[in-house]
């Protein structure tokens, strides 16, 4: 029953709340989220070691931007790519097919698919497709020396298992964050 349950309704409530923002507020929020995503994504190369633990959180600004609107998330995605060209050109190849793609996948799947398992499967297919594209088509060693750039079904299977677990963790984390964010907004609105 856990896998087939509908995720919380907080993302929809947050979307309705953010719909009331003016166009300029949405634009500023999108630009801020893009800058945060670019900085988080580039920490992998700027701070070796610790940065690799921080860089996966570049998904979060993209995911938050999805709550605003689809047009804003596309602006955020493109602006983050442009900022990465300036800050860390090596991450320009990784972000659109991994970190940014999982944020887009979850953000788009939340209002459409609604059930936990369908969101996780959709997002894991997107992410594994992005990783395989980088690994086998572009020949970019996104997984480092652990996986070669020659096509292997065993490696693809491991990639999918990893992306399924990773997507599951991000879905649960986003659910937790949206619940906390909505409770904070409710508390502030009651005080005003």
Does residue 144 belong to any structural domain of this protein?
A: yes
Domain of 163, CATH number, reads: 1.10.1760
Mean of pLDDT values over 178-182:
91
For residue range 65-102, what is the model confidence (pLDDT) as tens digits? 988 888 888 899 999 999 999 998 888 888 999 999 99
- Look up tokens 């502030």; give the residue: 188
- DSSP annotation of 148 reads -
Examine residue 4 and state whether it is found in any structural domain, yes or no.
no
Residue 26 counted as domain residue: yes
Q: With respect to residue 54, please indicate whether it lies within any of the assigned structural domains.
A: yes
Closest C-alpha to 105, from 161, 152, 62, 55: 62
Q: Is residue 82 part of a domain?
A: yes
Query: What is the average per-residue pLDDT within 179-185?
Result: 91
How confident is the model at residue 108, as a pLDDT?
A: 87
Q: Which domain holds residue 15?
A: 10-191
Question: What predicted TM-score, i.e. pTM, was given to this entire model?
Answer: 0.89
Tally of structural domains, the chain: 1
Do residues 141 and 135 make contact, with C-beta atoms less than 8 angstroms apart?
Answer: yes
Altogether, the residues listed in the chain come to a count of 192
């Amino acid at each position: 029953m856990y896998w087939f349950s509908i995720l919380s309704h907080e993302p929809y409530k947050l979307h309705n709340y953010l719909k009331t923002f003016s166009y300029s507020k949405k634009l500023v929020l999108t630009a801020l989220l893009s800058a945060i995503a670019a900085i988080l994504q580039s920490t992998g190369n700027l701070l070796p070691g610790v940065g690799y633990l921080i860089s996966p959180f570049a998904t979060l600004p993209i995911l938050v931007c999805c709550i605003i609107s689809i047009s804003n998330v596309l602006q955020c995605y493109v602006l983050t790519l442009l900022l990465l060209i300036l800050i860390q050109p090596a991450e320009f190849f990784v972000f659109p097919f991994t970190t940014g793609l999982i944020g887009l996948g979850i953000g788009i799947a939340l209002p459409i698919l609604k059930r936990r398992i369908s969101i996780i499967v959709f997002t894991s297919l997107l992410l594994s497709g992005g990783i395989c594209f980088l690994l086998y088509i572009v020949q970019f060693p996104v997984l480092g020396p652990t996986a070669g750039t020659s096509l292997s079904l065993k490696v693809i299977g491991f990639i999918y298992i990893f992306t399924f677990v990773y997507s599951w963790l991000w879905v649960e984390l986003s659910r937790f964050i949206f619940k906390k964010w909505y409770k904070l907004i409710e508390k502030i609105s009651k005080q005003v």
